[in-house]
Structures are given as C-alpha cells and as structure tokens.
Structure 1
Amino acid sequence: MKRCILLFCNFFGPGSIAMACTVCERRQPELLRGISHGAGPESRWDLWIVAVVAAVVAVSLFFSVKWILRPGETSADHIKRSIFK
C-alpha cells in the first residue's frame, strides 16, 4: 500500500509538473502561459482542434467506463456468460 501511495504521489504530485522557461513563457498565449514549452499555437484553429479532440476523448472515456461497469446484456446465451462463469 505504501508503494502505491508513493507511486501515485510521484506521478501526480507537485514535483511532476514541468514549468516553462522564461523564453517559452513569453511566446505562449495567456491560457497556456507557464505550463508548456515550445512554440505556442499558430492560430485559433490549433486550439479548436485540441478542444474537439479533448471532447472526443472525454466522451469515449465516459462510454468506455459506463459499458464496462454496466454492459446491459441480459440474455442467458450472451458470450459474456460463457467467459465469466
């Protein structure tokens, strides 16, 4: 249990966040300032593309978890009945 907590803190703790350098920070738009390196988005289309992809990922994650937890098949001859005996 202690190892799991340390692993969790290592991945999601405050030390895992990479801060941007001053040059990269000046080149980023206000939304991303201080949290990312490199060149910022070239146009507004870049932000829209990222937003659409994030929405698709969120929806697919929601339905994946929903159908894993409650698949909804109730028939006795469904293939899951032969696998999960």
Structure 2
Amino acid sequence: MEADPATDWSKIDLEALRQHLIDMNEVTLKADAAPTPVNGGLQVDITGDDRTSAAIQRMLPAHAEELNQMNGWRAKTEPLPGGVRLTVTSTTPR
C-alpha cells in the first residue's frame, strides 16, 4: 500500500485478500509440521484437519512457486493425506 499510494482500491478484490489471510492464519496457527533435514535443505510434512488441510493445499504450492523465483532456492511440494510435503533446498551450503 505504501509502495503505490495511487492504488485504485475499487479494483482490489478485498474478499480474496481476506480469504488469503484466513488461510495464512489456519496454516500458521493450526497446522502440524514435521521437519526432516535433507541434503542441501529441509523437508517438512505439513498437515491438518478439514479447513486447515484445505488451506495448506492452497497456500504451500503457491508459496513454493514464489520461493522458486528467489535466487539460490528450489522448492517443491507433493500432496499428502491432509496436507503437503514441502521440500526446500539451496544451491549454497550456507
């Protein structure tokens, strides 16, 4: 919002933003995460019940794609019962 004070708010889908924030809340506060170190990174099985599972399945693949746009990161997701397996690796050891 600060980046573009001329934003035409009549063109913004506030309900879609609201639903995205609800999904973020579900994943952040209600999901279970089981991390496992892998060569060059981390694998996390992220699961939950009902609404949380649906939020995980919407959010994690989208966020993995965003990570793939960042230099040096590789992210992929695989569906799991009740959630998603997220694997993130780096091309640099640090």
Query: Whose relative contact order is higher, 1 or 2, with alpha carbons under 8 Å and at least 6 apart?
Result: 2
Q: TM-score, normalised by structure 2?
A: 0.28
- Greater share of residues in helix: 1
